[in-house]
Structures are given as C-alpha cells and as structure tokens.
C-alpha cells in the first residue's frame, strides 16, 4: 500500500489544484487574522468556513481523483499488488494531500500571528483535527460513490447531493422536526441527530470548546452536559472515527468484488 | 501452468463465459481467437484476477488464484488498450512499474529495439497511439515472468516494430516461457502460435494445434480455417 500511496501523493502534490487549495487557505488565514487581529475570533470564523468547505472539497476531489486515475488503477490491477491496497493507497494519497494543504494553509498564518503564545492554541488544534476528520470522512464517502458508479456524471451528481444533504438539508429536516415535536422532550433526539451527522457533530464540538454554547440557549445547556464532558468529547471522537472507518471497510469490500 | 475448470461469468444479463475448461501447458504459445464479444478479454482478465468469476476455478502454477495476488508476479500482461496515467513521463512510468514489482530488470535493450530513446522524457499523454503501444510492449517484455499474456499486441504497430515483436515473442518462447496471445490478424497467429483456442459465444469451440485446425477444416491457411470453423457453426 505504501508504494501506491507514495505515487498517488506525488502525483497530487505536483498538481495545480493542491496549490490552489493551499493558497486559498493561506489567503483566508492571513485575511481573517488581518481583519480580526484576534486569534480566538479568527478560529470561530474559520470554523464556519471549514465545516462547510472541507467536506465539499473532499467530496469533489475524491470523486475527481478516482475517475481521473482510472488508467493508473487498471495498470496497477495487473501488477502483484493486493486490490484493497490499490484503492486504500489512492485514498490516503488524496486525503493526505488535502489534509496537508489544510494544516499548512491555516497553520502558517496562525503561527505567524503568535498562536503558540496565545490561549487559542487548543481551540485551533481541535479545529484542525476536526478538519482532518472531515477530509478523511468525505473523501472516503466520495470514493465509495465513485467505485459504485462507472458513469462520471452520475457519480459527481450523487457526490454533490451527498454534500448538500449533510451540510444543508439534514439541518433543515432536523430543525423542522424540532418544531413539529416541540411538545415532547427532545434532548436525546437532538443529541443523537447531531452525533449522526459528522458536520453537525464537528460544529457542536468546536462551539462547546469555544465556550459560546450559551448562544444555543436551552439546547446548548443540554449539549454542554453531554458533549462538554470528557466522556462526551471522546464519544464524539469515536463517532468521527467510525464515520471514517465504516466507509473505508465498505470501499475495501466493494473493491474486492468489482470487475475491471 | 494454468488450469481452468467450469469458468462462468455474467455481466448483468449478458453471459460472457459459459463454462470454460482449459489447460495451458508450459513452454508453448497459445493463440486465443474468436469474434468480437466472444469472451477473449474476459477470459484473460479472469486469469489476471481483474474480473472475478461467478463460478469455476482458476489455478496458476498449481495454486488457486482466488483472493491471491502474489501470483501476478509471475505474469506479464499487455493490455488491449494502452491506458497510462497521462501526466507521467515514459521514464517515470517505467521506473514506477519496476518499483511496484520490486524488480530491477533493465529496459534499455527494449527501448533501443523500439527506438523509444527520444520519447523517454515526453509525457504519456503526448505520445501517438503506436508509440504508446511500444511503451506498452516494453513494460510487458521487460520482466522475466514465466507467463506472458498479450491482448492484441499488434494493434497500431508499424511493419518494422511488428517484425521486432515477432522476434521478441519467439525469443521469449525459446527461454521456455508460456505465452497467451489474442489477435485478429490471422497471418500473425499463423506465424507465432503453436496452439489455437477458438472461443465462440463464451464457450471453447476448438482447442488444438495449428496442424489439427488445418486438418479438421481441410484448409491450408489459418484465415480460411477460422472462416470455415465459423461457417460450420452457423450451419450446424
């Protein structure tokens, strides 16, 4: 798997898109810090962007890379390499290079503004960890969609729909159901619903870490009671980890059974 | 060398292979023939493990290939359509395949043979179809595997390269290797093959030596013999 990973990673690091993605984050980081001049506020603004943008880029890049490297995959399939290693290698190549762009692109400006001397360092680290998780999750989902759809247009369509669902529609349904069932106790329901969507979960995690959960009103207090504790934090991390591992297991399962 | 029993494969409703039984003996050149869509490529891809059979078993060098991958170290494969990652240079591609196979064989002789020196630093997307096929051939012939599978090796080659290819095939045979070749050019088959396997609609319709094929169809060249085979099928 290492060798496939190496070549995929090289290939991506040389590509124009990685640089565009990296320079976008660099620009974003510098502009935010220049305008805010406050690391903590910068983290909050960044969160709102990362939570939506990282999944979108992961999904689009994942599907695009899978379809574009079809030739490479066919070449590899005839070589003495285990099938699952081919696909997992490519996956980690994509997810790795995207995560690297994220970490470097945001890390450099924040370091230069004195991140290490401020008390925002833990919040910022959490933001990066969540960003990396979202990259891993959505790239894995994208690979799953692409391997099941030989038709590129369909694959792209499903991938964008998935992102739209997770980032926008899910919240809509969630809010709607909260209004519809407002007569009932909804604490458990809203907590479970939040945990099931990696984007919502990431947002909640960071908001609670930033101690602005008061903004969320009564729900905020309930959330704080669960997600704010050590146990809640590690549970959330576990859920994010599951969101990463399950699609990868499915990818391996599908790859082992597909005809090329 | 290869032992195939009761191999079945369906793509959706399309039954491509309908119970293939086949034994490939070492040291010979086999030509797999048949009309378009008769299952030649599917058969080859099943041996390589790229297509997963619905039923039946395949053994390569005495071991069942199911879920295995190490046996591919003993196979060199020339795909029908030379699809390569376009943003790599020829030199990088050759180095990459060497690295992936953990094999240090030198390709210099083959590169000279096909006159590819001037193309080594070009990107693969910039090469013509024939040149791509030559690169394809270099990659297939540069390793010392026991089994060579060539899917339509003569497509897009100029006469000069075609002669080199035939010589290469003969010298590989002299080294004791086994070759499986598909082709639509009967003259080419006649020149290189020892045995003919004729596939028709997913079944083996004829399996024997070139001489047996001629005798069975009472013809003097392969082209007519194959035409005769197809005719008897239509009448019978």
Q: What is the mean pLDDT of chain A?
A: 88
- CB under 8 A, 24+ apart: contacts of B41-47: B41/B80, B41/B151, B41/B182, B42/B9, B42/B16, B42/B17, B43/B7, B43/B17, B43/B199, B44/B77, B44/B149, B44/B151, B44/B180, B44/B182, B45/A259, B45/A260, B46/B7, B46/B9, B46/B17, B47/B2, B47/B4, B47/B75, B47/B149, B47/B180
Q: Is the pLDDT assigned to residue A16 strictly greater than 90?
A: no
Q: What is this structure's pTM? A: 0.88
Going by pLDDT thresholds of 50, 70 and 90, the confidence category of residue B232 is low
The interface residues of chain B toward chain A in range 21-80, judged by CB-CB distance below 8 A, are 45, 48-52, 67, 69-73, 75, 77, 79
Look at residues A124, A108, A26, A11 and name the one whose alpha carbon lies nearest to residue A61: A11
Tally A–B CB contacts below 8 A: 62
pLDDT digits (tens, 9 = 90+) for B76-115: 999 887 778 777 889 988 988 898 888 888 888 899 988 9
In A168-216, the DSSP E strands lie at none
For the residues A15-27, what does the mean pLDDT come to? 90
Contacts 24+ apart (CB under 8 A), B215-224: B221/B186, B221/B190, B222/B186, B222/B187, B222/B189, B222/B190, B222/B196, B223/B186, B223/B187, B223/B190
The per-residue pLDDT for range B141-174, each reduced to its tens digit, is 998 888 999 998 888 888 988 999 999 999 999 9
- CA A254/CA A110 separation, integer angstroms: 41
* pLDDT tens column, B46-61: 999 899 999 889 998 8
Counting the structural domains of chain B, the total is 1
Decide the pairing of beta strands B14-24 and B63-64. Answer: unpaired
- pLDDT category of residue B181 using cuts at 50, 70 and 90: very high
Contact between A71 and B75 using a beta-carbon 8 Å cutoff: no
pLDDT at B236: 47
Average pLDDT, chain B: 87
Chain B residues with beta carbon closer than 8 angstroms to that of A7: 96
Range of the domain at B145: 2-235
**B86 touching A, CB under 8 A?**
yes
- CATH number of B67's domain: 3.40.50.300
pLDDT-based confidence at residue A175 (cuts at 50, 70, 90) = confident
| Mean pLDDT to the nearest integer, A25-35 | 90
Q: What is the mean pLDDT of residues A132-152?
A: 95
A71 contacts in chain B (CB < 8 Å):
83-86
The pLDDT value given to residue A173: 92
Q: Which residue has the tokens 């004195």?
A: A114
ipTM comes to 0.83
């Amino acid at each position: 798997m290492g060798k496939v990973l190496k070549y995929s990673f090289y290939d991506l690091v040389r590509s124009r898109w990685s640089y565009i993605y990296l320079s976008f984050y660099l620009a974003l980081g510098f502009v935010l810090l220049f305008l805010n001049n406050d690391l903590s506020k910068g983290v909050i603004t960044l969160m709102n962007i990362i939570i939506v943008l990282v999944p979108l880029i992961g999904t689009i890049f994942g599907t695009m890379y899978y379809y574009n490297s079809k030739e490479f995959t066919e070449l590899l399939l005839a070589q003495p390499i285990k099938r699952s290693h081919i696909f997992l290698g490519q996956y980690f190549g994509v997810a790795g290079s995207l995560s690297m762009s994220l970490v470097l692109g945001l890390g450099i400006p924040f370091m230069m503004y004195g991140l290490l001397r401020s008390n925002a360092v833990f919040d910022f680290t959490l933001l990066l960890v969540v960003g990396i998780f979202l990259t891993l999750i959505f790239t894995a989902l994208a690979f799953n969609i692409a391997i099941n759809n030989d038709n590129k247009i369909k694959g792209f369509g499903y991938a964008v729909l998935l992102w739209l669902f997770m980032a926008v529609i899910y919240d809509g349904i969630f809010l709607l159901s909260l209004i519809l069932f407002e007569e009932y106790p909804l604490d458990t329901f809203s907590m479970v619903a939040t945990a099931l969507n990696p984007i919502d979960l990431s947002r909640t995690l960071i908001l609670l870490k930033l101690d602005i959960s008061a903004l969320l009103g009564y729900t905020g207090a309930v959330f704080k009671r669960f997600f704010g504790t050590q146990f809640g934090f590690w549970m959330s991390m576990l859920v994010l980890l599951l969101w990463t591992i399950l699609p990868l297991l499915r990818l391996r399962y599908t790859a082992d059974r597909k005809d090329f | 060398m290869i032992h195939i029993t009761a191999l079945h494969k369906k793509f959706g409703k399309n039954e491509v292979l309908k119970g293939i039984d086949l034994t490939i003996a070492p040291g010979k050149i086999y030509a797999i023939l048949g009309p378009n869509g008769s299952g030649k490529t599917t058969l080859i891809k099943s041996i390589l493990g790229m297509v997963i059979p619905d039923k039946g078993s395949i053994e390569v060098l005495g071991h069942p290939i199911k879920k295995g991958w190490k046996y591919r170290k003993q196979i060199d494969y020339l795909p029908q359509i030379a699809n390569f990652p376009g943003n790599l240079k020829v030199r990088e591609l050759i180095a990459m395949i060497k690295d992936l196979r953990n094999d240090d064989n030198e390709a210099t002789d083959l590169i000279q043979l096909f006159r590819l020196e001037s193309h080594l630093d070009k990107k693969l997307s910039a090469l013509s179809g024939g040149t791509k096929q030559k690169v394809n051939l270099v990659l297939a012939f540069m390793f010392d595997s026991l089994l060579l599978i060539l899917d339509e090796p003569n497509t897009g080659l100029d006469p000069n390269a075609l002669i080199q290819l035939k010589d290469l095939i003969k010298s590989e045979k002299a080294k004791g290797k086994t070759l499986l070749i598909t082709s639509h050019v009967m003259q080419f088959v006649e020149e290189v093959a020892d045995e003919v396997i004729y596939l028709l609609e997913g079944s083996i319709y004829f399996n024997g030596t070139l001489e047996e094929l001629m005798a069975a169809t009472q013809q003097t060249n392969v082209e007519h013999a194959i035409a005769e085979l197809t005719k008897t099928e239509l009448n019978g």
